[in-house]
Structure 1
Amino acid sequence: MRSLISFKPAALASVLVALAGCQSLQSSDNFLGVVTPYRIEIVQGNVVTKEQAQAIKPGMTRAQVRDILGSPLLTDPFHADRWDYVFTIRRQGAEPQRRSIVVLFDGEVLKSIDPGGELPGEREFVASIDTFKTRRNAPALALTEEQVKALPLPVRPAAPEAAASAVGATRTYPPLEPR
């Protein structure tokens, strides 16, 4: 009987440890530090960068705005003069992002654009979603001055007089078909 009483707290403790372990497995991104579950990449809406927003000027037509920003994600039939550009991305290995840009029109003419905060530049956006940052140690694509000077000089072609003196065929070829 005494061993049964001492067994209950040990069993209770082991059950609590096991349940705590199950909770930590659900909240982590990997299983035992080895296996990472696949998470689908979700991209919705239009990417609007700082360069695109700077190209939009009051007085532009709806067609001009659509050419620069693309089609809006939301157009409300009750607010025909408002376009909403919403962008969300969830990518494994990168921070989730959400942006909402509101474009207001006065009839067919652009009245204002509200970017809803600081927009990233095109390069900044690509860097923020690039999950291969550590593997991309690409060499520079331009040569330095020292490297250009170290290159061998190109070989000059033969003088034009030597080429002009060779008249007629210099090689003879066998016939392609037997006679």
Structure 2
Amino acid sequence: MKREATINRNTSETKIKLHINLDGNGISDIDTGIGFFDHMLELFSFHSGIDLTLSCDGDTYICDHHTVEDVGIVLGKGLNEALGDKVGIERYGTFYLPMDESLALVSLDISGRPYLVFDCNFNREIIGEFSTEMVEEFFRAFSFNAGLTLHMKILYGKNDHHKIEALFKGLGRALKIAKNITNNKIQSTKGVL
């Protein structure tokens, strides 16, 4: 069974094309028009083992908000669709990710019950053309559209680039664990996720 999804989403603010393969090799081709964001998504792809092709033509001349949030929506929908009935997946994934002086904790549950706990602070307003306030917005859009319970915490760190990178890599590593097929059952006493 192929765990893949293709999504095209067009609004007056963004035009997004996505293809996701959960059982890939972490290969990505990403162009959102925001360099730092592209880099973070490439890291997510590599560390999750998910192949990701994503392009976004967004109204970045206004700001980065619509592009970042809408990519989160589409990536979440793609993950949810590719997971299918979720039979056999490990379901839970937790990872501590060190990035130089920073340490992030990412813990998730592919539960079908979307929730985000985001305990992270940044000192800078912007990195490249990417607003640090959009980190939380991205992860909220992603978790709610993927149906994930997602907890993210920066335990400590000084460099905002490192902190954000630790979150994206940590998400990739936690998801790599959770999406892994380890049996032939739904991992819930209710029989459904």
Please state which band the TM-score falls in when normalised by the shorter chain. under 0.3
User: Structure 2 length normalisation: TM-score?
Assistant: 0.21
User: Structure 1 length normalisation: TM-score?
Assistant: 0.22
Report the structure number with the largest CA radius of gyration.
1
Answer 1 or 2: which has greater strand percent: 2
If asked which structure has higher relative contact order (CA below 8 Å, sep 6+), I would say 2
